[in-house]
Amino acid sequence: MAHHIDPVNLTPIPPLLDSYTYHSKLPDSIDGQVKDGDEGWMMGIDEAGRGRPMVYAAAYCPISFKSTLEEMGFDDSKALSADTRQSLWESFDVNPELCYSSSSLSPQAISAGMLRRIPINLNRQAEDATVGLIKDALDRGINIKECFVDALGPAPQWQARLTAIFPSISFTVCPKADSLFKIVGAASIVAKVTRDRYVHGWVDPEDEDMPKGDIDIDGEEGVGIGRGSGYPSDPKTQAFLKESIDPIFGYKGIVRFSWATVKVLLDKQGVECKWIDDNTQPSTAGWFGADADNGRPKIWRDIGVSGVGEL
């Protein structure tokens, strides 16, 4: 869904309960339908954070705006200071030709996909987000002619797949695209600022009394719990995960349960749960009346399911 106001521009930022897509305002010249003779646009796509949450962003502008874009200072967001990132974020508001979209994937949604019986892995979810951003731009009437994408896995295969899906667009997919192409650098700013605001200003819907805030963008301690950056190499994140685990319920919504780092902690510190319909365990005769044919509870046969995972 799209909001009229980017949620990360609100104070406080609303809890990220569901994934969503936001589109900035387009110039008045865009009337919602791509037509022959429309000015060609260029697009860049990048992501920030493959965890809590993951944000994919697209920046796009008329190709005629490229010379101006080159002078604005966009680069790989990780190579820029917080103040510079904020200034570049604000440049979207004062340059109507420069637009953006962001797809914010909540930790819960990422885990729900990865922990399905037939998993949707993180790369596939990232691919779907990328394709969705491009499709949305075309559906809004933007004549995308060139698209530059930071590599997701093997670049040639991903470039070939995108070309097959969108044959009218010329794609360039490569590593470090955010430092090679200014339009991807612009997308990198959107993705990084959006994710940072969620991480550092996370609102926990399960505990409204918890102090808000975290370490700020510059790394200084805030008033809330020091969660760190959300990456496994961050000592603050490691400490937060170890201190916040509940042996029964695991973690609250800010933590992605499908994350390998979290799986290890849950295996070590969590209470083991045994399901009565687990094929690897002894027959469950006596639990609601067991199915004599395969040892599964009779209740599963009665309601037409084969296991807990289908409920």
* Binding positions: 46-47, 150
Closest CA to 133 of 156, 98, 125, 71: 125
- Our measurement of the distance from residue 19's CA atom to the centroid of its chain's CA atoms, rounded to an integer in Å, reads 8
Residue 273 tokens read as: 């749960």
Closest CA to 251 of 125, 107, 119: 107
Residues marked as binding for a divalent metal cation?
46-47, 150
Count CB atoms within 10 A of the CB of residue 163: 15
Asked if residue 300 lies in contact with residue 306, where contact means CB atoms within 8 angstroms, the answer is yes
- Helix (H) and strand (E) counts in the chain: 10, 6
Residue 95 tokens read as: 């340059």
Q: How far apart are CA 180 and CA 182, in angstroms?
A: 7
